[in-house]
Amino acid sequence: MASTARRDAPEPPDFGILKRLARDQLIYLLEQLPGRKDLFIEPDLMSPLDRIANVSVLKQHEVDKLYRVENRPAPSTSDQLCFLVRPRVRTMRYIADIVNADKMSGRSRKYKIIFSPQKFYACEMVLEEEGVFGDVTCDEWSFYLLPLDEDIISMELPEFFRDYFLEGDHRWINSVARALQLLNSLYGPFSRVYGIGRCAKMSYELWRDLEEESENDGQGRKPEIGNIFLMDRDMDYVTALCSQVVYEGLVDDTFRIKCGSVDFGPEVTSSDKSIKVLLNAQDKIFSQIRNEHFSSVFGFLSQKSRNLQAQYDRRQGMDIKQMKNFVSQELKGLKQEHRLLSLHIGACESIMKKKTKQDFQEMIKVEHALLEGFDIRESTSFIEEHIDRQVSPIESLRLMCLLSITENGLIPKDYRSLKTQYLQSYGPEHLLTFHNLKRIGLLTEQAAGETLTAVESRVSKLVTDRAAGKITDAFNSLAKKSNFRAISKKLSLIPRVDGEYNLKMPPDMAYVFSGAYTPLSCKIVEQVLERRGWQGLEEVVRLLNGNEFAMADGAPEDGAGGDAQRVVVAVFLGGCTFSEIAALRFLGKERGCRFIFLTTAITSSARMMEAMAEAKA
């Protein structure tokens, strides 16, 4: 697989400028409201904001107190209130309540709402309906892109997944298009664009329109990024549903990485307090193990700790001068490394403990069986037992979805009984969750003779209607088959290996799932980049329901164009997992190219399942 003329992957471009742009704009917006003010921040925006501007920066610009936007009434006493929010109806009501309460008590203050990343008309509509539109001023903080790491950029819009794929809400497509425009203007022009999926296509078209309207062509500028690949999450749910076994994925599954950092609890820190750790390429230990299969991580860590000990041990037999040197130069680094090392070891132990408790091996075995498509009955009983024993509501749901999507839906009997079991175990309110899962196509019933419901048939009628051609069906995933088995065969996603799969020196991307399965999403990227388009993949495209596109705009020939042609932005609309990131990083290393990940949010099976749950209001 490794080509003979293997080149080092180019360095990723500097994405720090994205942060600086966002910070400057925020400061400008804050200064638009001169004088002291209290700032109300949407909880979702707190971590991203923290990565852009810390509290002291905010204080410098006359922010007095900080509050969370919550359901409780705000105790603020300031005469100027500034709200930093996502454009959501709920939040508008919260603000309207504050304003109206002030009005009732005859108090007059200034209110300013800063929408991030953009304002939606619906928000203004609500403000108007609540009668406060004239009392507030609105602004937009075009903070579309947050660089989480040297190669990961997130839009931090977890709701994108549910809004678009479940509710058929197209609002965020505009934000995606604007984000692409921003990226293109700073690091482009991208000479090759590929993509698959309805949302990808719409985003691409809207972005094109925006570029045309703005008319500032980036000609003459030297691009830092040459290629871009857009993909909808619904092209590949399977990968996102599998248990993650690379270290970063496991950490995410176990502790939840939030906005690039993680809170390690007492069980990891072996003290009585939690520690917040930033997980990125700057962490020397983490950067070496993040993409590794979990089985190799322990070995690496113990080797590392032996090395560290050795370096400490050099102190013996040092004279005064050497010692002085050691203390002033190396000790700090060693201590830092030591701290990180013990944290990661702690994390590993904690992961192990949790996983063994849940019969992790057993579960992985079932997952692999599902991916390969054998022992379906046994897997189904395993899932049933999993539900009966109330192991974990999210995990049970995930397994059910995995079964459904790999098998193109459950057979009616299982569909009924598993759902009944689930409701009995985890509560009847999940009835609505099942409805959502069906709508999005994650948990469906094998259609015996294609019995479509009333809605479905209407939708499909619309799709064939030419006038509705561009409209797109809002319920695109309805009645859509996953065709996983056929695709898997076509792309040989299940590697055939003789003997043991070498996880330490993996031959391909399948290592991220212990050599049992090559992530479909990454395989598509690999294939398309290799072929410079979709030629030869017609069958796969058909099985994926089409909507593929490829565009080469004055792309330089092979070899020309410099490093930029070896930099690829992989855009995941609806979120991407750390396993996918690890797989593509591996591919990049093999092919001498650099992948940059642009995602609406980092996702995982649990996040996806939670997004489908119908919250008890």
Partner 1 sequence: MDCYTANWNPLGEEAFYRKFELYTMEWGLKEDLRDCLVAAAPYGGPIALLKNNARKEKSPSTRPLLEIYSASGLLLASIPWKSGQLVQLGWTASEDLLCIQEDGTVLIYNLFCEFKRHFSMGNEVLQNHVLEAKVFHTEYGTGVAILTGAHRFSLTTNIDDLKLRRMPEVPGLQKPPSCWAVLTQDRVTIVLLAVGQDLYLLDNTSCSVVDKLCEFNSTIRSPPKQMVWCTRPRSRQRAVVVAWDRQLMVAGDSTECIRFVLDEDSYLVPEPDGVRILSRTSHEFLHEIPEASQEIFKIASMAPGALLLEAQKEYEKESQKADEYLREIKDQKLLPEAVSQCIEAAGYEHEPETQKSLLRAASFGKCFIDKFPPESFVRMCQDLRVLNSIRDYQIGIPLTFTQYKRLTVEVLLDRLVLRRLYPLAIRICEYLRLPEIQGVSRILAHWACYKVQQKDKSDEEVAYAINQKLGDTPGISYSEIAARAYDCGRTELAIKLLEYEPRSGEQVPLLLKMKRSKLALSKAIESGDTDLVYTVVLHLKNELNRGTFFMTLQNQPVALSLYRQFCKHQERETLKDLYNQDDNHQELGNFHVHSSYSEKRIEGRVGALQNAVDEYYKAKNEFAAKATEDQIKLLRLQRHLQEDFDKPYLDLSLHNTVSTLIQDGHHKKAEQLYRDFKIPDKRYWWLKISALATRGDWEEMEKFSKSKKSPIGYLPFVEIAVKHHNRYEAKKYAPRVTPEQRVKAFILVGDLEQAADAAIEHKNEAEMNLVLSKCSAATDSAVMEKLNRARAQLLKK
Interface contacts to partner 1, rule CB under 8 A: 88-90, 93, 120-122, 125-126, 129, 163, 167-171, 173-174, 177, 202, 205-206, 209, 213, 384-385, 388-390, 416, 419-421, 423-429, 431-432, 435, 453-455, 459, 462, 467, 470-475, 614, 616-617
Q: Which helix (H) or strand (E) holds 171?
A: helix 171-187
Of the two residues 175 and 482, which places its CB atom closer to partner 1 in the complex?
175
Of the two residues 34 and 469, which places its CB atom closer to partner 1 in the complex?
469
Q: What is the dihedral of CA 150, 155, 161, 164, to 10 degrees?
A: -140
Of the two residues 88 and 566, which places its CB atom closer to partner 1 in the complex?
88
Q: Nearest distance from residue 208's CB to partner 1, in Å?
A: 10
Q: Nearest distance from residue 249's CB to partner 1, in Å?
A: 29
Report the C-alpha gap between 221 and 215 in whole angstroms.
15
Q: Nearest distance from residue 169's CB to partner 1, in Å?
A: 5
Of the two residues 214 and 502, which places its CB atom closer to partner 1 in the complex?
214
Q: Nearest distance from residue 417's CB to partner 1, in Å?
A: 8
Q: Nearest distance from residue 177's CB to partner 1, in Å?
A: 8
Q: CB-based burial of residue 184 (10 Å sphere; 0-12 exposed, 13-18 middle, 19+ buried)?
A: buried
**Per-residue CA distances from 291 to 199, 509, 513 (Å):** 29, 11, 12
Q: Nearest distance from residue 296's CB to partner 1, in Å?
A: 23
Counted residue by residue, the chain has a size of 617
Of the two residues 173 and 516, which places its CB atom closer to partner 1 in the complex?
173
CB 557 within 8 A of CB 580: no
Q: Nearest distance from residue 36's CB to partner 1, in Å?
A: 33
Buried b (16+ CB within 10 A) or exposed e, 339-358: ebbbbbbbbbebbeeebeee
Q: Nearest distance from residue 414's CB to partner 1, in Å?
A: 13
Q: Nearest distance from residue 318's CB to partner 1, in Å?
A: 43
Q: Which helix (H) or strand (E) holds 370?
A: helix 360-372
Of the two residues 202 and 240, which places its CB atom closer to partner 1 in the complex?
202
Report the C-alpha gap between 489 and 414 in whole angstroms.
25
Of the two residues 430 and 607, which places its CB atom closer to partner 1 in the complex?
430
**Per-residue CA distances from 22 to 12, 19, 49, 182, 396 (Å):** 20, 5, 9, 12, 41
Pairing of strands 63-68, 37-41: parallel
Of the two residues 25 and 433, which places its CB atom closer to partner 1 in the complex?
433
CB 66 within 8 A of CB 39: yes
Of the two residues 276 and 470, which places its CB atom closer to partner 1 in the complex?
470
Vertex 444 angle, CA 443 and 445, to 5°: 140
CB 165 within 8 A of CB 477: yes
